[in-house]
Amino acid sequence: MTSGALYIGLMSGTSTDGVDGVLADLADPHHPLIRAHVSLPMPEPLRQEFLALNTKGSNELQRAALAGNALARLYAAAIRELLEQSGNIAQSIRAVGAHGQTVRHDPAAGYTLQINAPALLAELSGIDVIADFRSRDVAAGGQGAPLVPAFHQAVFSASIPRAILNLGGIGNVTLLHPGEPVRGFDTGPANVLLDLWCKEKTGQAYDVDGRWAASGRSHPALLEALLRQEPWFDLPPPKSTGRDLFNHAWLAQRLAPFLAQGIADTDVQATLQSLTARTVAEAIERHAPAIREVWVCGGGALNSALMSELGQALGRPVHPTSGLNIPVQLVEALAFAWLAQAYDQGQAAGLPTVTGARHPSVLGCRYPA
């Protein structure tokens, strides 16, 4: 391993299903090498607390602080496993990039909130922690999201126009055109509504490989209602979103007349899958029609039914990023290792062409061990 180029990246996303971690050698930041990786499930009580903190509730300040401490301990457990896999080389790790758990995101109001306890994580791990990646860009008038397009540009650029699509809870796309500034924005719900409906109706955390959706049929009228009754979809980039908008209340309001007509639960699931595919396809067609191929990461890339429908909607080749030698579930964790290095090097990863900020910004804040 290369001394001085080792970073750990940790990510717990909108789906709140777990923590992914990587230990990466970033001696060549355009060709990162993953030396170890780990995925730990989110304990159900912590997951439910994060979901509850997405909306107003009682005693929020204390609950958020305690949830941050619990997340730091989970992050520390992930770091221990990474170090065990790699020979306990904590002294060689330059820093840990730890994003925290986003529970509120409203850049129009000038704030974004990630629950985290980076000082505690630095204490527990004995390694410097770099966190708070969104707020500097928001302070400069930007969306603070998506965070990863600079990383995507560094590691995924090619000689043809290419899109990198992350299908986590929320979908976001990075548009890579040779010789042009990188662009990126959120496309809307990816798995967040699919998982919500599946959990509510089947008790399962998610629809494995889209099998439950495949047992139903997409409902054209419901799909159009979901698309046309939400003004956010028609907003131009830069734009970002989250559970603040796409949540149970949003879905329940739009489903009500269709449930009254007796629509099948499986048809709702199939329609929500179509919503993900359609919003991605319309966003790319509207804002980057020259894109030739789409590479997909995040949990949605493991859903073959969704990937197939996405390919049909896009009319372009759609591939998992594992075909580019980065496993789909590790792209975002690797991105936060890369962002930690970018902070160390004073590299501006907050890009106005992505977020709409007034100027580029170095993202993050360091918490020494």
**What residues does CATH 3.30.420.40 cover in the chain?**
6-144+330-367, 149-316
> CA-to-CA distance for 123 and 135, rounded, in angstroms?
23
pTM (whole model) above 0.75: yes
Q: Give the burial class of 361: count Cβ atoms within 10 A of its Cβ; 0-12 exposed, 13-18 middle, 19 or more buried.
A: buried
Place 88 in a pLDDT band, splitting at 50, 70 and 90.
Answer: confident
Render pLDDT for 100-151 as a digit per residue (tens, 0 to 9): 999 999 999 999 999 999 999 999 999 999 999 999 999 999 999 999 999 9
Place 78 in a pLDDT band, splitting at 50, 70 and 90.
Answer: very high
351, two tokens: 């890009």
DSSP result, 139-199: HTTS------HHHHHHHH--SS-EEEEEESSEEEEEEE-TTS--EEEEEEESSHHHHHHHH
Helix axes 149-156, 331-344, angle to 10 degrees: 100
Place 3 in a pLDDT band, splitting at 50, 70 and 90.
Answer: low
Average pLDDT, the chain: 96
CB atoms within 10 A of CB 87: 10
Looking at residue 1, its pLDDT comes to 43
Render pLDDT for 289-304 as a digit per residue (tens, 0 to 9): 999 999 999 999 999 9
Q: State mean pLDDT over 262-278.
A: 98
Q: Is a pLDDT exceeding 80 seen at residue 2?
A: no
Q: Is a pLDDT exceeding 80 seen at residue 328?
A: yes
Looking at residue 60, its pLDDT comes to 96
Render pLDDT for 164-196 as a digit per residue (tens, 0 to 9): 999 999 999 999 999 999 999 999 999 999 999
User: What class, spelled out in words, does domain 149-316 have in CATH?
Assistant: alpha beta
Verify cis geometry, omega within 30 degrees of 0, for the bond prior to 238. yes
Pairing outcome for strands 365-367 and 129-131: antiparallel
Query: What's the topology of domain 6-144+330-367?
Result: Nucleotidyltransferase; domain 5 (3.30.420)
Looking at residue 154, its pLDDT comes to 98
List of residues 6+ apart from 280 with CB closer than 8 A: 165, 171, 173, 187, 188, 310, 313, 314
Looking at residue 14, its pLDDT comes to 84
81, two tokens: 């496993």
- Tell me if 340 sits within 8 A of 130, measured CB to CB: yes
Q: Is a pLDDT exceeding 70 seen at residue 18?
A: yes
Q: Is a pLDDT exceeding 80 seen at residue 277?
A: yes
Looking at residue 90, its pLDDT comes to 85
